[in-house]
Amino acid sequence: MKKDDGNLRVFMKGAPERILNRCSKILVNGEQIDFTEELRAKVNKANSDFGKLGERVLACAFADMPADKYSKESYQFDVKTWKNWGLKNNSVADYADVEGHFPMHDLTLVGVVSLNDPPRPKVDLSVQKCRSAGIKVIMVTGDQPPTAAAIAHKVNILKHPLKEFNYMVKELGMSEEEAWNQSTGVVVHGDLLAEKHLKEEHLPEDDPNKGEFLQEWIRKPEVVFARTTPSQKLLIVDAC
């Protein structure tokens, strides 16, 4: 950054839940201040509110790098192993000794931005035709759960959002058992799928209980998988 004594700057954007836990400061009126729990709650609410409108949300952050240490002429940046940095404490201190490191934590949050990416025309009619033919439509997406639920509702995949399992637990205060028995739909986060799958890795392939949790999810009339990875999509297809 020429106007800032030649300093370099790291820019990062991505899913809010991935970016926010890397931030220790937030930009307010041009000033970097501590990212307090109160401010985190405000940002998370904005993210949730945008998501419930069916909008895709990105968080943006940056970190300035001291010019005396990080020089584009002489410093050899390691751009291959950064995904392994900060796994212990989400802190730059965790990888300060790594050769070629640069800050991927203790960032300053600039804010969140929402993008309107509406479903294609007549998708809702196509889904309705599938239902009429006895075909069950399951939505699998990389969007976060609130966005996925809102879009699924728009296209007739989640026809009864007030009877979705997570809504009944979080908004109506029902117990998980009661909500599960009464719900007609469920929105599953990919992280939960990964967590449950990992716990069953030790089970043999012919164990009848292996993957039962996934079968239980897809038995629901209305099913949405959110924040899924390619490998998780394969698990879902296999379960179907």
Which residues are 225's β-sheet partners?
Answer: 140, 188
Cα angle 115, 120, 123; round to 5: 130
Which pLDDT does position 154 carry in this prediction? Answer: 92
Which pLDDT does position 6 carry in this prediction? Answer: 66
Query: How many whole angstroms separate alpha carbon 206 and alpha carbon 2?
Result: 62
Tell me, what DSSP letter sits at residue 229? -
Tell me, what DSSP letter sits at residue 45? H
Nearest CA-CA partner of 48 in 79, 67, 20: 20
Nearest CA-CA partner of 65 in 1, 27, 8, 104: 8
Residues 6+ apart with CB under 8 A from 169: 175, 176, 179
Angle formed by the axes of helices 190-199 and 230-239, nearest 10°:
70
Nearest CA-CA partner of 97 in 107, 108, 86: 86
Q: In this predicted structure, which of 30-34, 95-99, 190-194 has the lowest mean pLDDT?
A: 95-99
Tell me, what DSSP letter sits at residue 120? P
Overall average pLDDT of the 17-21 stretch: 91
Which pLDDT does position 4 carry in this prediction? Answer: 61
Nearest CA-CA partner of 167 in 191, 148, 189, 183: 183
Overall average pLDDT of the 23-33 stretch: 95
- For residue 171, the surrounding DSSP H or E stretch is none
Query: How many whole angstroms separate alpha carbon 217 and alpha carbon 236?
Result: 10
**Per-residue pLDDT tens for 137-151?**
999 999 999 999 999
Which residues are 108's β-sheet partners?
Answer: 25, 62
DSSP three-state, residue 175: coil
**Per-residue pLDDT tens for 62-97?**
998 888 888 777 888 898 988 888 888 788 888 888
Cα angle 175, 180, 182; round to 5: 100
Q: Domains, the chain, ranges and CATH?
A: 2-115 (3.40.1110.10), 123-239 (no CATH)
